[in-house]
């Protein structure tokens, strides 16, 4: 039977858990010092190791021969728990066992001493899904738990947990996985699985998964099927991501206020079957990187999780918008993203919004361009003499571009 990559590579010991060092160190210490609490809550974004750590911890506290706080993985208990042959550790999906009766049933069972292990452990996944009466029932058990009983509650939405429950738990907040760590881990797993993938594609996977290791591994697996080597093209195809080339040409058309090119490019992307939602996301990403570049220059690299376009901006500074312009585009595309997700006519929305951006642009910078081209030219002439020569020249060139694209005649001097 095929096992999904993310399950095959579930960490077996704390040392395999990446990016959660504070948490794993504390948990190991508790095992070593035998200072085990009755209830824990593991909160944090999806795919960051909550369930994995709950499994490791429940092995470690029951292991016959724990080593430096780690489960040995060799003893009967470790093996029995790994094979799910021992019933003393129970994983419950609170999403589907969320009623008060489920918890009452659990209460009866929880009173029995464990059959083989030292502790009876309940891992309640997605615990925020419990009904309020179920939470009350849980609270009752937590108030006077038998010595052998331990709860590990896991949730992505800790703010939905009643404070009465929270205050009885030792709380651990899981981070999003650090991108560098994730990049290294994906590379390692690809190597082990003999999946050929370019460095650039690994970086892109990492950037898409937003700190969820499970998502990253799922994407890696999806792409590895049917391709000998995963590069940007294969990745873009499988995930229906829009090529960077399209984003650049769309930007150019917006900048030149070239309405007909905008329509043509969108049309082409649409008929290639690309996902337009992803296109908007990529545009947002593009302008966000531009915003970073314009404000922070070289430093932007250190502050962005992932950058696709910084080198382009560095080499083509005059392709960048100014701060005000970037804000305007971002504002519009963010609005568009919210709308396009639920729209039955995505192409139309995309066209309208992009043209609207252009329209707003012409209002910001080039008011009355048609009537006042002479005045604009004169203004530019004056400004070109200023200190900031290059910058003004760029603006001047842009006027000329825009004028040309809108069939406004310009006389040579």
- Least spacing, CB of residue 49 vs ligand ATP, in Å: 3
Q: How many CB atoms lie within 10 A of CB 199?
A: 10
The site partner of 63 among Mg ion, Zn ion, ligand ATP, none (C-beta below 5 to 8 Å per kind) is Zn ion
Q: Which is nearer to Mg ion, 155 or 207 (CB)?
A: 155
Q: Is residue 304 part of the contact set for Zn ion (CB under 5 A)?
A: no
Q: Which is nearer to Mg ion, 52 or 236 (CB)?
A: 52
Taking each helix axis from N to C end, the angle separating 373-384 and 389-405, rounded to the nearest 10 degrees, works out to: 160
Q: Which is nearer to Zn ion, 75 or 238 (CB)?
A: 75
**Closest to 177 (Cα-Cα) out of 133, 208, 131:** 208
Query: Which residue in 41, 56, 78, 182 binds Zn ion (CB under 5 A)?
Result: 78
* Exposure b/e, 214-244, CB count within 10 A at least 16 = b: bbbbbbbbebbeebeebbbebbbebbebbbb
**Closest to 280 (Cα-Cα) out of 320, 238, 236, 336:** 336
Q: Is residue 395 part of the contact set for ligand ATP (CB under 6 A)?
A: no
Q: Which is nearer to ligand ATP, 49 or 71 (CB)?
A: 49
Q: Is residue 211 part of the contact set for ligand ATP (CB under 6 A)?
A: no
Token pair of 59 as six digits: 């092995």
Binding to ligand ATP (CB under 6 A) within 356-385 occurs at none
Q: Which is nearer to Zn ion, 70 or 125 (CB)?
A: 70
- Least spacing, CB of residue 17 vs ligand ATP, in Å: 4
- Least spacing, CB of residue 170 vs Mg ion, in Å: 18
The site partner of 69 among ligand ATP, Zn ion, Mg ion, none (C-beta below 5 to 8 Å per kind) is none
Binding to ligand ATP (CB under 6 A) within 1-60 occurs at 6-7, 9-11, 17-20, 46-52
What is the distance between the alpha carbons of residues 152 and 39, in angstroms, rounded to a whole number?
6
- Least spacing, CB of residue 388 vs ligand ATP, in Å: 49
- Least spacing, CB of residue 180 vs ligand ATP, in Å: 13
- Least spacing, CB of residue 90 vs ligand ATP, in Å: 16
∠ Cα 177 298 313 (to 5°): 100
Query: Which residue in 5, 63, 149, 190 binds Zn ion (CB under 5 A)?
Result: 63
Q: Is residue 51 part of the contact set for Mg ion (CB under 5 A)?
A: yes
What is the distance between the alpha carbons of residues 153 and 103, in angstroms, rounded to a whole number?
13
Can you tell me which residue has the tokens 């585009």?
A: 329
Query: Which residue in 142, 213, 266, 376 binds ligand ATP (CB under 6 A)?
Result: 213
Q: What's the Rg (C-alpha) of the chain?
A: 28
Binding to ligand ATP (CB under 6 A) within 58-87 occurs at none
How many angstroms from the chain centroid is the CA of residue 123? 26
The site partner of 336 among Zn ion, ligand ATP, Mg ion, none (C-beta below 5 to 8 Å per kind) is none
DSSP string for residues in 339-388: HHTT-S-HHHHHHHHHHHHHHHHHHHH-TTTTTTHHHHHHHHHHHHTSS-
- Least spacing, CB of residue 218 vs Mg ion, in Å: 14
- Least spacing, CB of residue 355 vs Mg ion, in Å: 44
- 15-23, 72-80, 270-278, 316-324 -> range binding Zn ion (CB under 5 A): 72-80
- By rule CB under 6 A, what string of x and - marks binding of each residue 313-332 to ligand ATP? --------------------
∠ Cα 305 310 311 (to 5°): 130
* Helix ranges (DSSP H) in 225-304: 232-239, 244-255, 259-271, 276-296, 300-303
254 burial level (CB within 10 Å; 0-12, 13-18, 19+):
buried
- Length of the chain, in residues: 413
Partners of 120 in beta bridges: 149
What residue ranges bind ligand ATP (CB under 6 A)?
Answer: 6-7, 9-11, 17-20, 46-52, 154, 156, 177, 213-214, 217
What residue ranges bind Zn ion (CB under 5 A)?
Answer: 63, 71-72, 75, 78
């Amino acid at each position: 039977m095929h096992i999904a990559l993310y399950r095959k590579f579930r960490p077996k010991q704390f040392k395999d858990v990446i990016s959660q060092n504070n948490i794993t160190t504390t948990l190991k210490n508790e095992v070593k010092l035998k200072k085990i609490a009755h209830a824990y809550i593991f909160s944090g974004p999806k795919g960051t190791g909550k369930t994995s750590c709950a499994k490791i911890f429940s092995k470690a506290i029951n292991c016959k021969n724990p080593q430096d706080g780690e489960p040995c993985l060799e003893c009967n208990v470790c093996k029995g728990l790994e094979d799910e042959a021992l019933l003393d550790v129970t994983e419950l999906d609170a999403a589907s066992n969320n009623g008060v009766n489920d918890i009452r049933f659990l209460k009866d069972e929880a009173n029995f001493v464990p059959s083989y292990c030292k502790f009876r452990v309940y891992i309640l996944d997605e615990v925020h899904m419990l009904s309020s009466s179920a939470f009350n029932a849980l609270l009752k058990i937590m108030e006077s738990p038998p010595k052998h009983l331990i709860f590990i509650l896991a949730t992505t939405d800790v703010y939905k947990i009643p404070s009465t429950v929270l205050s009885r738990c030792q709380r651990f907040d899981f981070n999003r996985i650090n991108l560098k760590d994730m990049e290294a881990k994906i590379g390692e797993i690809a190597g082990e699985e003999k999946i050929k993938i370019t460095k650039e594609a690994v970086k892109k996977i990492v950037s898409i998964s937003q700190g969820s290791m499970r998502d990253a591994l799922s994407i890696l697996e999806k792409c590895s099927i049917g391709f000998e080597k995963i590069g940007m093209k294969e990745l873009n195809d499988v995930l229906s991501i829009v090529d960077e080339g399209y984003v650049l040409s769309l930007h150019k058309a917006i900048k030149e206020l070239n309405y007909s090119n905008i329509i043509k490019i969108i049309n082409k992307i649409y008929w290639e079957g690309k996902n337009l939602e992803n296109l908007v996301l990529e545009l947002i990403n593009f302008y966000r990187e531009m915003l970073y570049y314009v404000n922070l220059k070289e430093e932007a690299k250190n502050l962005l999780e992932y950058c696709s376009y910084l080198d382009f901006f560095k080499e083509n500074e005059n392709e960048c918008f100014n701060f005000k312009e970037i804000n305007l585009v971002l504002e519009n595309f963010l609005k568009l993203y919210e709308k396009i997700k639920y729209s039955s006519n995505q192409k139309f929305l995309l066209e309208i919004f992009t043209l609207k951006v252009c329209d707003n642009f012409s209002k910001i910078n080039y008011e009355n361009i048609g009537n006042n081209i002479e005045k604009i030219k004169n203004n530019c002439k004056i400004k070109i003499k200023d200190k900031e020569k290059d910058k003004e020249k760029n603006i001047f060139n842009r006027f000329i571009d825009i004028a040309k694209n809108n069939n406004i005649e310009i006389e040579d001097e």
